[in-house]
Structure 1
Amino acid sequence: MEYNFKEIEKKWRKYWKKNNTFRIKENQNKKYYILNMFPYPSGSGLHIGHCLGYISSDIYARYKRLKGYNVLNPMGFDSFGLPTEQYAIQTGKNPYDITYENEKKYKDQIDNIGISFDWSRKLSTSNPMYYRWTQWMFIQIFNSWYDLKDEKAKPIKNLINEFEKNGNYKINAYTSYNIKFHSETWKNYNSLKKETILQYYRLAFLQKSIVNWCNELGTVLANDEINNGKSIRGGHPIYKKKMLQWHIRTTAYSNRLIKGLNYIKCSKSLKKSQLNWIGKSKVISIFFDILNIGKIETIILYPELIFGITFITLSKNHFISKKIFYKKNFHIDNNLKFIENSVFTNYYAIHPITNEKIPIFISDFFYINNNNKVYLGIPGHDKISKTFSSKLNIKTINVLKYQIEKKNEVCINSNLINGLNRKEAKIKIIDFLLEKGIGKMKIIYKMYDAVFSRQRYWGEPIPIYFKKGIPIAIPTNKLPIILPKIKNYHQKNKDKKSVLYRSKKWAWDEKKMKIVSNHLIDEISVFPIEINTMPCWAGSSWYFLRYMDINNNYFFLSKEKENYWKNVDLYIGGSEHNTGHLIYARFWNKFLKDRGWIKSEEPFKKIINQGMILHHSVIILKVIGKKIFISYGLKNYKKYKFLLQEIYVDISLIIEKENNKIDLNKFKKFYPLFHDATFILEKGIFFCKRKLEKMSKSKYNVIKPDDISEKYGADVFRIYEMFLGPITQSKIWDEEKINGIKNFIKKFWGLYHENGKFNVIKKNPTINELKLLNNLIKKIDEKIESYSFNTCISFFMIFVKKLIKMKCNKIKILEPLVKLISPFAPYISEEIWRKFGKKRSIMYTSIPNFESKLLLNNKIKYIIMFNGKLKFIENFDSKLTIDKIKNNILNHPKTKNILKEKKLKKLIIIPKKIINILY
């Protein structure tokens, strides 16, 4: 009987769906929550690189379920964002329709490879019933501040109460600006003035900042959406632009984000990437007196360069800048000359050591995020300072007297640090500043507050309206604020606004408590709604919580459900999520805990980053601006040598991989635009270049799982992808080697069948057969727990080969075997399980346990060396400890014979490999 995988897979997909086999409910069993990182449902669907994580998590989820755990293994879609919006612009389709089609395609592909996701818990970030709670959470963040004393977020009402009582003299808050006022003054402030002050404390706040702007896409982009100065989506140029944007004060959580890493099991590289993103460092700050103004404090990153300070610049929103602006009336003073958006203030700071006068400038030249910063200009050692000083001719104001001699890094011209190297000088200066009270140690972080505004259409609407310029949260009982449908999604560059400003019905009526037409805006009872939308990471920062309680219409997560599932036990995804996504998800979780809505400080217990699937892409040469293609071996062709560009083409155009030949007839059909192109050949052949790189849609080197499953079967595909290598390492895809797995599945099926019939007997197995089985059970159990799925497959292959050789078809051997292999090959396992007469799915059985007394007494081979030279080989019992092995080898007759009167110096043991005796 042949293994007809197409019929069998179709049969069991239908069975699983009809019987809700993978649907999970809370019960008395111990829980296990396994999660894949949120995928984006693109139109091109899944490729086999995506499947690596899904298959890995599915194997572990099925295994834990067989071990008696109640396993939550959900899936959903991060469905807001640029790709869908851009596709909608290009095709004229509605983003809602595009998203629905793409999600269905993803679900069908995932189901085809037998992934046991609980689709009853499916969520989409673009579903209003989901983003209702994203909007609710944003309002809570907006209405919160961070108390440094208690290290937690608190309601903004608490802060207002403190202001009304005491001003802010006793407020220990994390803020971007510390304005002082008396309580009576606060009470007399109008609403706009009060809100202006509160914006410095709110965890969600509006601020002008310099952002990454893309004219072509018409929106702000995050740093991880940019590569080499261009947008990842479309490769468009990025410009720096100052805009009023919503921000989330993630920096308030910097220290807790670092501390929390101690409670996450993950790779060292992941922790390193998180630490680098946050960027904690210990520095010293120094104080400068400013004549007739007061004092300023600023950080000096290189204290040993303190004698090189030639000028100081302040950002325009620094409190000293505002004092100077007020005193000098800068906005109408025509005598002040602005150069490079900078101005000399006619004020000086006093150097804390030399007492020299240092000129002060106000400028945005140095301030990427336009924070309340002070920049110390040291043009003798800093290229940016040198550029600034040359533009403003600062040398005529002050001359650099103290330098560090770069040749031997010796500080000179100062009695304090003369003769010291740079490291010694730094220590000396810090000690001096601390001793004299003109400096203090501080902890700083590299991480910036996250920009939360996006000027695109396809995103969560921000639930804020503006009442005479004051941001007001829309009442939470009126959520969700649903994204309005518009006809034109394209962002016109000249508008510089979100496309939502084109919506004719996007105003808030305070009395009727609903969205109304824009023409009703009167600034009395009807007000404009925020036209920017949220970034993609808003919805993906808390989705793991919603899976626990997907159908709750009253709250995002009930206490009962959270008490059961708690947090994610295993989180699997690509390393590209190691920075931004992980930071934001952890921040979001900590905020919700602070406000008492959840209990867990960290959302994820263990994180595994899957490796990449590598595949050879196809690159050809094209003459820039012309329909002329040149065979790759002619890249030095004189006529076009400096006019060639490399372009990627689809891998399906290859006819002979080993010779890198392109099928030109197929090429012209694939790219109709080039049906009349000219091709310069090499001896009648058109060659390409092959390059091994990450499987990616942009490189046109992807393989669809549908194609592999259709050709070989889903079980073969699953096992082969796992067999390629460890889950955390990158692996090369080579379809030619998949036949080995195909033959293994054929042999496995043959164990249970003879002459087309199911043939398993009830005869008792031999002791040797039982020992082989118990050994396999133990190895599989150990390797699955360490996620070594490729090693498991090797063990299965060896075991099946031995059973075939022994002609073993006994039920007490073959029934446990099919249980063991079912997480890896669910379709064939379900079919064989049914042939055993079982009425329920194999998912409802349990994994077999090994018996210690039936384990094989394995031996480990050691190479015995003396002073690095091989002398003999010895086998030791695998149960022996290193100390017992050491004792045995020293008392071995051959060892004693070699050593004789020689003095033993050292014995080196490399476990399970080598023993080296030095004398």
Structure 2
Amino acid sequence: MTYSRDIDRKWQKKWEETELYKFNPQNMDKKLYCLEMFSYPSGAKLHAGHWYNYGPADSWARMKRMQGYEVFHPMGFDAFGLPAENYAIKTGIHPQDSTLQNIKTMERQLKEMGATFDWDYEVITCLPDYYKWTQWVFLQLYKKGLAYRKKAPVNWCPSCKTVLANEQVVEGTCERCGSEVTKKDLTQWFLKITDYAEELLEKLDELDWPEKTKMMQRNWIGKSDGAEIEFKVDGKDISFKVFTTRADTLYGVTYVVLAPENEIVDQITTDKYRRNVEEYKEYARKQSEIERLSTEKEKTGVFTGAYAIHPITGEKLPIWISDYVLATYGTGCVMAVPAHDERDYMFAKKYDLPMKRVIKGRDGVDDSLPFVEYGILVDSGDFTGSKSEDARIEIVKMLEKEGKGSLKVNYRLRDWLVSRQRYWGAPIPIIHCEKCGLVPVPEEDLPVLLPYNVEFSPDGESPLKKSEEFMNTTCPKCGGKALRDPDTLDTFVDSSWYFLRYPDNKNDKEPFNKELIDKMLPVDKYIGGAEHACMHLLYARFVTKALRDLGYLDFDEPFKSLIHQGIILGPDGNKMSKSRGNTISPDEYINEYGSDVFRMYLMFGFAFTEGGPWNDDGIKAMSRFISRIERLIDKFTEDKGKSGKNEISKDEKELNYVRNYTIKSVTDDAEKFQFNTAIARIMELVNALYKYDGEVENKNMKLYEETIADLIRVLAPFAPHFSEEMWERMGYSYSVFNQKWPEYDDKALVKDTIEIAIQVNGKVRGRLEIPSGATEKEIQDKALVVESIKQFIEGKEIKKVVVVKNRLVNIVVK
């Protein structure tokens, strides 16, 4: 029987009937938690990208299982979110109906993949038995003071008609639909991730994560050591603070700049300048943060008519507003030092504002303006002559004594905005009462169910607001009339804790049992896309730490080891998308070649962490390779009863060398997710077996059979159905995945003889086989008498012979 989909079905049925991949929680001392980022069922089917994530990761898990680990390998669906809702608006099919139907299709496809997923542990985030506990997580954060509501300028997508977290805005556009993002003042729910900024930063060093991902999180958190300095507004009982990392330049401040959204702008603006200020505020509101922070964009602003008092010199400093200052970063106020800051310099040049140099360069340092390096202070009162490094601390200490400043650490990270004005998400479990204010839904009343019959065409308002049945309720505190919160939670809240639910997914008394989860977590190997570096991966770390501090967990980090898969591109080299018409559906290939051929092509045809463009030719070649192994095994089973020799000669030593080298290389490479090179080593072993079969008449059948058995075992994680079939065909007992992963013999990797090249005047003219322990003199003597070499050296003067150990001999003649 040639390998086909029938073999896939045969073994999938057997695995299911025998519960081969069931996780045994009694074997906790050997537990290994392998997890891929769960899929979003927005489309009807799995695409090649899903396969590229799940197939190779499953192969790694299979190898670990054969190495003796009790592998916990669950799967579920990140099922809430905008795509399903947008699809519903377009087609009229309710998001719940389309999502659950898509999940059924994807479950079937994942089972046809032949992965080791234990479906007893499945989670689906849009079902009440899951989002009940998402709401519970939110309430714990609320009680701890980590969830709060405030009015703030937020990112607004005019197409999706909902707010976006900062992390969901990519170069000024919505990461979901690509529309240009604007700003809106709305009262929204936030999670206080900034409380954990320092720990999120510090703990990165301990993680086995790609360095690039850790660097992205470091940059996103954006720690700055500096100072907060207070400035008073002239003639008013108003003051504001600026954050600066360069207090050494304080004597060079010639004006100050506020963010247009800063709440004190209206209070300080004089009548003469009010119209200008209002027009400029409207102009700034239409721009994204990315645009406003761009170094290439021309700086603009307007004068408020007000002045600030310099905290040391008492000088009056004009107060401007400009779009290059953000209300959400630092204090929303900047002390402008145009002689020593590039943005301030450009702004001052444009509006003809004064510049005052207060730092000069050390010898040999460029002195042109703006001078942004550290140096020696000039024209800075008592601090003149001080080094910048010292003055930036000493100046703040002086201000501290006068109550005008303090040392301060600032972070770029902003709190996580989690309100969404959309339907398809977990309702926020808060009740609004006129008497009692914000009241959390009692835990015994969870879940707050998402109603089915809701008009969810987006109009900027939360769809749930239109459902009187949902909105109207009673206050748990006073029993009076009250309203539910009309917003739903960002879907990243659902995925911020799903890895904690998997091991205890049927627990209806609590989200997870602490004793169990402390044994099961952290996740040992997490596999997923690098695009989640500053969203899901950061949020999951935050929620884990918050739940730890609340006493629900005893570990600090959710994912010990992380690896990112690359992206499979379309045949045209572009990212796959329906609009380009370059998507690749696995189904047609699986139906024609079988799932193992498709899986092995993905692993051999691409470096796992890089990906690349799809090419049909590769899958046909992989099908031929699988057939080649099948022919080899069929030939062996025909010859199995034949007698052979017992001794180990040169041919057997060569075969045994390749066998052990393959085991060592495949183990090392697969451990590092370098599947392409692992499969290349398996191909070399198949070549060696064919060579042995074709060239050796009187075979050592014991070694031959052991080598084929090892071939099937190292192949098994990469071609699970085919390997089960070949294992059975060899007459062995079920299952190959109950076999121990083969170990290599170090001694077999030391060859008795090695082949080296012989050069004459740098050109290869022959080859020589020598004992591996031969001396330099022995190698030289043997090289000089090789027949193919004699014609190049006879009658010529040999000037010298150079021996490069285990590689070559170079004979230099005149």
- TM-score range normalised by the length of the shorter chain: 0.7 to 0.9
Question: CA shift at 1:143, angstroms?
Answer: 0.8
Return the offset for 1:23: 2.1
Deviations 1:410-435, CA, capped at 9 Å, x for gaps: 769x994279xxx9985475255246
Tell me whether 1:794 sits opposite 2:680 in the alignment: yes
Shift of 1:317: 9.6
Q: Displacement, 1:21?
A: 2.3
1:356-371 to structure 2, matched below 5 A, reads 356-360=315-319, 366-369=325-328
User: Secondary structure at the residue paired with 1:298?
Assistant: strand
1:11 match: 10
| Cα displacement string for residues 693-735 of structure 1 (whole angstroms, at most 9, x for unaligned residues) | 2334453322111122122221111111111243112333211
1:96 partnered with 2:93 = no
- Please name the residue that 1:204 is paired with: 147
> Which of 460, 469, 482 lines up with 1:505 in the alignment?
469
State which drifts further: 366-375 or 379-388.
Answer: 379-388
Look up the equivalent residue of 2:220 and give its one-letter code. Answer: W
Is the Cα contact below 8 Å between 1:863 and 1:873 reproduced in 2? yes
* Inter-partner Cα distance in structure 1 for 2:772 and 2:424: 61
Residues 213 and 10 of structure 1: CA distance in aligned 2, closer, same or farther (over 3 Å):
same
Measured in 2, the distance between the counterparts of 1:776 and 1:558 equals 43
Corresponding residue of 1:686: none
Q: Measured at CA, do residues 407 and 112 of structure 1 come closer, stay the same or move farther in structure 2, by a change above 3 Å?
A: same
SS in 2 for 1:339: helix
Of residues 833-842 and 48-57 in structure 1, the stretch that sits farther from structure 2 once superposed is 833-842
Alignment-derived partner of residue 184 in structure 2: 241
**Counterpart in 1 of 2:253?**
309
Could you tell me which residue of structure 2 aligns to residue 819 of structure 1?
A: 713
Deviation at 1:303, TM superposition (A): 4.5
Q: Which residue of 2 aligns with 1:773?
A: 659
More displaced stretch, 15-24 vs 797-806: 15-24
Change (3 A) 1:800 1:500: same
Q: Which residue of 2 aligns with 1:466?
A: 432
> How many Å separate the matches in 2 of 1:794 and 1:602?
36
Contact 1:48 1:704 in 2 (8 A): yes
Superposition deviation, residue 498 in structure 1? 0.8
Q: Which residue of 1 aligns with 2:596?
A: 715
Tell me the SS of whatever aligns to 2:631. helix
Q: Which residue of 1 aligns with 2:669?
A: 783
Match status 1:213 vs 2:177: no
Task: Report SS of the residue matched to 2:216.
Answer: helix
Structure-2 separation of matches of 1:910 and 1:530: 77
8 Å Cα contact 2:338-2:356 kept in structure 1: no
Matches within 5 A, 1:321-400: 321=264, 337=274, 339-341=276-278, 348-360=307-319, 366-369=325-328, 373-377=332-336
Higher mean Cα deviation, 727-736 or 262-271? 727-736
The answer to whether residue 369 in structure 2 is matched with residue 409 in structure 1 is yes
Amino acid in structure 2 at the alignment position of 1:136: W
Alignment of 1:58-457 (within 5 A): 58-144=58-144, 202-289=145-232, 293=237, 296-303=240-247, 306-307=250-251, 309-312=253-256, 321=264, 337=274, 339-341=276-278, 348-360=307-319, 366-369=325-328, 373-377=332-336, 408-409=368-369, 416-417=377-378, 426-427=388-389, 429-430=391-392, 433-434=395-396, 436-437=398-399, 440-457=406-423
Query: Is the counterpart of residue 476 in structure 1 residue 471 in structure 2?
Result: no
1:162-195: per-residue Cα shift (whole Å, max 9, x none)? xxxxxxxxxxxxxxxxxxxxxxxxxxxxxxxxxx
The change in CA–CA distance for 1:375 and 1:136 in structure 2 (over 3 A counts) is same
The answer to whether the 8 Å contact 1:772/1:856 transfers is: no
- Other-structure match for 2:608: 727
- Alpha-carbon distance, 1:857 to partner: 2.8
Letter in 1 for 2:313: T
1:207 positional shift? 1.4
Deviations 1:322-341 (A, max 9, x none): 9x95xx9x9xx988835333
Equivalent residues in 2 for 1:732-747 (5 A)? 732-747=613-628
Offset, 1:806: 1.6
- The code of the aligned residue for 1:779 comes to S
Q: Which residue of 2 aligns with 1:805?
A: 691
Tell me the CA shift for residue 846 of structure 1: 1.7
Given that 2:376 and 2:388 are in contact with CA atoms closer than 8 Å, whether structure 1 keeps it comes out as: no
Secondary structure at the aligned position of 2:156 is classed as: strand
Displacement of 1:310: 3.8
Root-mean-square deviation over aligned CA pairs: 4.2
Deviations 1:56-80 (A, max 9, x none): 2111111111111100111111111
**Matched-pair contact (CA < 8 Å) for 2:330–2:410:** no
Q: Secondary structure at the match of 2:469?
A: coil
CA distance in 2, matches of 1:245, 1:571: 32
Aligned to 2:545: 590
785 and 236 in structure 1: CA distance in 2 versus 1, 3 angstrom threshold: closer
Aligned 8 A contact 2:359 2:377 in 1: no
Q: How does 1:475-494 map to 2 (within 5 A)?
A: 475-492=442-459
Cα distance in 1 for residues equivalent to 2:806 and 2:546: 47
Deviates more, 1:535-544 or 1:523-532: 523-532
Residues 381 and 750 of structure 1: CA distance in aligned 2, closer, same or farther (over 3 Å)? same
- Cα 1:411–1:63 shift into 2, 3 Å: closer
1:623-702 residue pairs with structure 2 within 5 A? 692-702=573-583
User: Which residue in 2 is equivalent to 1:53?
Assistant: 53
1:340 counterpart SS class: helix
* Displacement of 1:380: 7.4
Deviation at 1:115, TM superposition (A): 1.6
Tell me, in whole angstroms, the C-alpha distance in 2 between the residues paired with 1:879 and 1:290. Answer: 86
Deviation, 1:360, is 4.8
Partner of 1:599: 554
Deviation at 1:306, TM superposition (A): 3.8
Q: What code does the residue aligned with 1:507 have?
A: M
Q: 1:892 to 1:266 in 2, by over 3 A?
A: farther
Structure 1 residue 209: deviation in Å? 1.7
State the SS of the aligned residue for 2:26: coil
In structure 2, the CA distance between the partners of 1:223 and 1:415, relative to structure 1 (3 Å rule), is: closer
**Aligned equivalent of 1:189:** none
| CA offsets 1:284-307 (integer angstroms, 9 cap, x no match) | 333435567486542124556545
For structure 1, the residue ranges without an aligned partner over 5 or more in a row are: 145-201, 514-522, 618-691, 895-908
Calculate percent identity across the aligned residue pairs. Answer: 33
Q: Which amino acid aligns with 1:222?
A: A
Q: What is the rounded CA distance, in whole Å, between the counterparts of 2:777 and 2:441 in structure 1?
A: 80
Report the AA paired with residue 479 of structure 1.
Answer: L
Query: In 2, distance between residues paired with 1:52 and 1:126?
Result: 25
Q: CA deviation at 1:452?
A: 0.9
Per-residue deviation, residues 362-413 of structure 1 (Å, max 9, x unmatched): 899943438853333457787987999999x9x8xx855559999823769x
For 1:94-148, what per-residue CA distance to the aligned partner results, in whole angstroms no more than 9, with x for missing partners? Answer: 111111111122222222222211111111111111111110010010111xxxx
Shift of 1:32: 0.5
The SS at the match of 2:500 is helix
Aligned with 2:502 (options 533, 536, 547)? 547
Task: Pick closer, same or farther for the CA change 1:401–1:272 going to 2, 3 Å.
Answer: closer
SS in 1 for 2:591: helix
SS at match of 2:431: strand
Cα deviation for residue 612 of structure 1 reads 1.7
**Are the equivalent residues in 2 in contact too, given 1:411–1:425 (CA < 8 A)?**
no
Q: Which residue of the partner structure matches residue 644 of structure 1?
A: none
Partner of 1:651: none
- State how far apart, in whole Å, the 1-side matches of 2:437 and 2:250 are: 43
Maintained 8 Å contact 1:317/1:371 = no
Q: Comparing 54-63 with 23-32, which one deviates more in the overlay? A: 23-32
Letter of the 1:241 counterpart: K
